[in-house]
Structure 1
Amino acid sequence: MYSDADTAALYDLLNPWDGTRHYSDAFYNGLVMRADAALDVGCGTGVMLHQARARGHAGRLVGLDPSAAMLDRARRRADVEWVHGVAADASP
């Protein structure tokens, strides 16, 4: 049996974020890097926002996800805002 933390770790292995291999990842990387701020709804483990910050994004980055286990992994980076919840409940 897998714990939620195990499932979150497995998610990263099965769903790598790689703009050099996946056109859609490259597309979103470009959008995020050109924006002053970005909200990633359903951010999962936060890989896209982690990479944006590592590539030099200096603006506000916010990840929103309903899974506490996914956000626990995302919070490895403290320079991104992580919000537990769903988009319908979010406020500006």
Structure 2
Amino acid sequence: MKPSTPAELRACADGSCTIVVTKGTEIPRADGLRAGPFTVSAVGAEGVDLSSVDASGFTSNLLGQRPDQGGPSTVNELSIAVLAIVGDTAKLRLFPAE
């Protein structure tokens, strides 16, 4: 899997995208869904780790996110699903929470 380009990552600002990430990838804030920005802090066999610090300093950590975990994780109104992990890359889908 080829990591997403900066333009593809910027498209996530509306809270709806599918991207490929590696460690260090910055996912922009989805203002309308009150979530992010996120930094990918790890990608590997154990899963995908994401962290976010909002404007008030509140930190959110999603650790060990995997395709087989039973569903997406949700931060405020944004859901994040890991679709696949291949080596040090992962495919994520971001979408509005239901």
User: What is the TM-score with the length of structure 2 in the denominator?
Assistant: 0.33
User: What is the TM-score with the length of structure 1 in the denominator?
Assistant: 0.34
Could you say which structure has the higher helix fraction?
A: 1
Could you say which structure has the higher strand fraction?
A: 2
